[in-house]
Amino acid sequence: MTKAKLDQLRSGELSPVENVRRALERISKLNPKINAFIEVNNDVVAQAEALERKLKRGKRAGKLAGLAIGIKSNINVNGLRATCASRTLEDYVAAYDAEVVKRVLAEDGIIIGVNNMDEFACGSSGETSAFGVTDNPAAPGRIPGGSSSGGGAAIAAGMCDLCLGTDTGGSIRNPASHCGVVGVKPTYGLVPRQGLIDLGMSLDQIGPIASDVYGAALLLEVIAGKNQNECVMLDVPKVSYADKLDGADIKGMKIGVSPQFSEITDSAVMDVIDKSIETLGDLGAEIVDVELPHIEEAMPAYYLIVSVEFFSATRKFDGRKYGKRIEDVCGDEVLRRILRGRYISQKEYRGKYYQRALQVRTIIRRELMAALEKVDVIVGPTVPKLPHKLGTKLTPMEMYAYDYLTIPANLAGICGGVVKAGKVNGIPVGLQVQGMVLGEEQVLRVMRAFEAVS
């Protein structure tokens, strides 16, 4: 779909202005119910017109020329509000572009607006935004997943062509699964984080959400690659992911499946995943069992680490230079993580909790790396259960359980992607494909091969 749209834009069959106008019409029609966008870029038609003039002058068209792109509200876009869907930053207008936004603009992508999200990315349901809950266009009345709820919902509703989300413990993959779209969490250190408002600095990665694997691959190749000014980045050459997807073949690839997945996943979800694994086998891949015995311990360890990092990251929100003091206006889950982070960070508890959680992180990483030495990718469910109905009261622990299967990739720093596997009672279920560090090519190849036959 993305490729067809790009072909239309390149041939002149569809103009950038027309594409942007269609997106705006769709947003204006659907957003009052879905609430996927917090803010629409008022300058967007003028930007599309400028691009048209540039193309008419015979200038080179960028890889994203004319596509309408939504950006999660925790990424700075100059002139638009970067609120993190919180009252803390509700009036905060970004004064600069994040590095990923600069790269999107350099390839002629058009920023259509700012997507809704869970407040400060603290949530897995899309219900904690200060600007209201987001509905799931693929399963109306149910949560779209989070925290990149607006991005997942915007793509599922066809409001824009591509979105940038962020993934700290599953925040791209979870909404991609619930909304039946494609999402990729890149290897930690592959995509610049400069201009991202942190949740957990050692875990956050910016990544694409799209309607198809080609779109996700294209946006990933635009944003990936070293930024000289960032110290926690991998120094790797640029890779072209999208071009390698034509006729993606997985014959002979070794695909790992862990028996531990079915122990923590609802049987209806698992049935869909088992069928998907059969399909991959039919495509010529060798299915191999891999052991991940400590996968369940990843979740509590993650919530300790992320709370400490989030507590540290939020100390700047004291309301003195901009915004409001975070503790005065934030929602329950944000306050819960701040209080937990403060408690765990106390000197007397550091060894008992935080350092111990970092040790568990080592165990999880080693386990995943060992599994990925035996196979090319690991496939399984993305979320262990179906999305709940909007407004259902869940305890924090029940909410955290959504992240059981996505957290390990963040703790280990590996990459992972999600593609629609099927449905249970009309509700989408996503297949998660996890690959080694910088294994995006293999992950995308498996996702594309599966997409082509499903």
Partner 1 sequence: MAEERQKEIERSAEEIVESFVKAAEGLPSEREMYYSQEAYNVVRPDGKPSSSEERTEFRKRFIKIMPAKDEDGNLRVEVAKWVK
Binding site for partner 1 (CB under 8 A): 78, 91-93, 95-96, 188-189, 202, 226, 228-235, 294, 296-297, 300-301, 303-304, 307, 318-322, 332, 335-337, 339-340, 343-344, 352-353, 355-363, 365, 395-397, 400, 411-414, 437
* Cα 323 to chain centroid, rounded: 26
**Alpha-carbon gap, residue 454 to 447, rounded angstroms:** 11
Nearer to partner 1 among residue 280 and residue 338 (C-beta): 338
Give me the least distance between CB of 416 and partner 1, in Å please.
13
Which two structure tokens, joined as six digits, stand for 431? 């297949």
Q: Are 309 and 203 in contact (CB under 8 A)?
A: yes
Cβ at position 130, least distance to partner 1 in Å: 16
Q: How far apart are CA 449 and CA 454, in angstroms?
A: 9
Q: Which is nearer to partner 1, 411 or 421 (CB)?
A: 411
Active-site pick, 125, 148, 171, 258: 171
Query: 231 vs 453, which CB is nearer to partner 1?
Result: 231
Q: Are strands 415-424 and 182-185 parallel, antiparallel or unpaired?
A: antiparallel
CB 70 within 8 A of CB 30: no
Residue 401, amino acid: A
SS3 432: strand
Shortest CB 308 distance to partner 1, Å: 11
Q: Measured between alpha carbons, how far is 266 from 250 in angstroms, rounded to an integer?
A: 28
Q: In the structure encoding, which two tokens stand for residue 235, read together?
A: 């120094």
Task: Please state the closest distance from residue 314 (CB atom) to partner 1, in A.
Answer: 14
Euclidean distance between the first and final Cα of the chain, in Å? 15
Q: How far apart are CA 114 and CA 44, in angstroms?
A: 12
Mapping DSSP to helix (H, G, I), strand (E, B) and coil, where does residue 72 land?
strand
In angstroms, what is the minimal distance from the CB of 312 to partner 1?
A: 12
- 254 classed as catalytic: no
With beta carbons less than 8 A apart as the criterion, state whether 322 and 287 touch. Answer: no
* Beta-bridge partners for 435: 377, 415
The closest alpha carbon to 308, from 342, 265, 334, 282, belongs to: 342
Burial code of 269-292, b = ≥16 C-beta within 10 A, e = fewer? bbebbbebbebbeebebeeeebeb
Output the smallest distance, CB 303 to partner 1, in A: 5
Pick from 221, 106, 212: which is nearest to 161 by CA?
212
| Active-site option among 63, 72, 185, 324 | 72
Which of 73, 86, 147, 258 is flagged as catalytic? 147
Task: Respond yes or no: is residue 72 known to be catalytic.
Answer: yes
Cα→Cα distances 188→61, 134, 206, 225, Å: 30, 28, 9, 11
Task: Closer to partner 1 by CB, 234 or 287: give it.
Answer: 234
Please state whether beta strands 254-257 and 377-381 pair in parallel, antiparallel, or not at all (unpaired).
parallel
User: Three-state SS across 309-356?
Assistant: HHHHHHHHCECCCCCCEHHHHCCHHHHHHHHHHHHHHCHHHHHHHHHH
The reply to whether 147 belongs to the active site is yes
Q: How many CB atoms lie within 10 A of CB 231?
A: 6
- Nearest approach, Cβ of 90 to partner 1 (angstroms)? 11
Least distance in Å: CB of 429 to partner 1? 26
Q: Which is nearer to partner 1, 107 or 297 (CB)?
A: 297
List residues with catalytic annotation.
72, 147, 171
